[in-house]
Amino acid sequence: MKNNIIKGVVLVGLGATSYGMLATFVKLSYKEGYTTAEVTSSQFILGLLGLLLINAFQRARRGSSNVTRPSGSNVFYLMLAGTSLGLTSLFYYLAVKYIPVSIGIVLLMQTVWMGVVLEALLTKSFPSPKKIIAVIIVLAGTAMATNLLEKDLQSDWRGITWGMLAAASFTTTMFTSNRVATHLSSAQRSLFMLMGGAVIVFGFAAYTWTGTFNLDIFLKWGILLSLFGTIIPPMLLNAGFPHTGIGLGSIVSSLELPVSVTMAFVLLGEQVSVLQWFGIILIIAAIIIMNVNAKK
């Protein structure tokens, strides 16, 4: 049991780290003139191809008779759950189109308290004192790590709205990762969830299509976005959340914040103050608190 929780923490943490790189890549692609539809479509198309190859490799290595076959209902519910994955990517990418990455990641990190509240509602139990304290620390650290206290928050309301919707969608994704068809491999579940997400993304691309599509996005940014947005994170989260639960998984996934801030510092040239680094340390401290509690 203890080893399973530690394993889940590591997997969720790595998945969140991958997600933390996305906002910077998206911002860079926007600067080169690519649209949200081009960014999301290339990410999901290449992601689907990658997961199809991974599943084919697993079947060949294990033998088709040793691979659990999903039922029709498994596929349906995983695809349905995957729509939240597509909505999260879409909402988040639309958010950072209108607001800075630092504000966008703050809004996405609202999944911390949303996840704990959702777990409390589902289990019909009040969160433990340690979990409440950890959430408070994460929220305080989030404000510091994004330099929120020193910013003039006259942000575009469209970005704020999209950011909050992204947080709600991501919370739903974490819930479904913990509950739907957990007997299947993470690669299988990720593939079907990505198919569901692709329906949302392709629908958005068709709705906003202007008659042109820059195919250069596939080689320029699509590979990076698919790896760190639709292949690596879903597989790791699907494998990790069943071991951590929603509350602990939500806290561990906050690693996305310091990674996002660091990426913005390195690739976008955003300055990171001492206050921001202190906020990152607070978040890591909260993660440690939660892990100690989980081990017990």
Q: What is the pTM of this model?
A: 0.81
Return the minimum-mean-pLDDT range out of 51-60, 99-108, 175-184: 175-184
State mean pLDDT over 210-228: 90
Using pLDDT thresholds of 50, 70 and 90, give the confidence band for residue 144: confident
Half-sphere exposure of 81 (CA within 13 A, CB side): 25
Structure confidence by residue, pLDDT tens digits, 236-253: 877 787 787 766 777 787
| Vertex 224: Cα angle to 222 and 267 (nearest 5) | 115
Q: Tell how far CA 164 is from the center of its chain.
A: 14
pLDDT above 80 for 271 = no
CA distance 37 to 235: 24
**What pLDDT score was predicted for residue 295?**
45
Type of residue at 289: I
Structure confidence by residue, pLDDT tens digits, 146-169: 666 665 555 577 888 898 899 899
CA distance 283 to 258: 8
The H-assigned helical ranges of the chain are: 2-20, 22-31, 36-62, 72-98, 101-108, 111-123, 129-145, 157-179, 186-207, 217, 223-226, 232-252, 256-267, 274-295
CA distance 233 to 108: 16
Using pLDDT thresholds of 50, 70 and 90, give the confidence band for residue 197: very high
Q: Work out the number of other CB atoms within 10 angstroms of the CB of residue 212.
A: 8
72 versus 186: which is more confidently predicted?
72
- For 267-276, letters b (16+ CB in 10 Å) and e give eeebebeeeb
**What pLDDT score was predicted for residue 30?**
93
Query: Tokens standing for 276?
Result: 């921001």
Rg (CA), the chain: 19
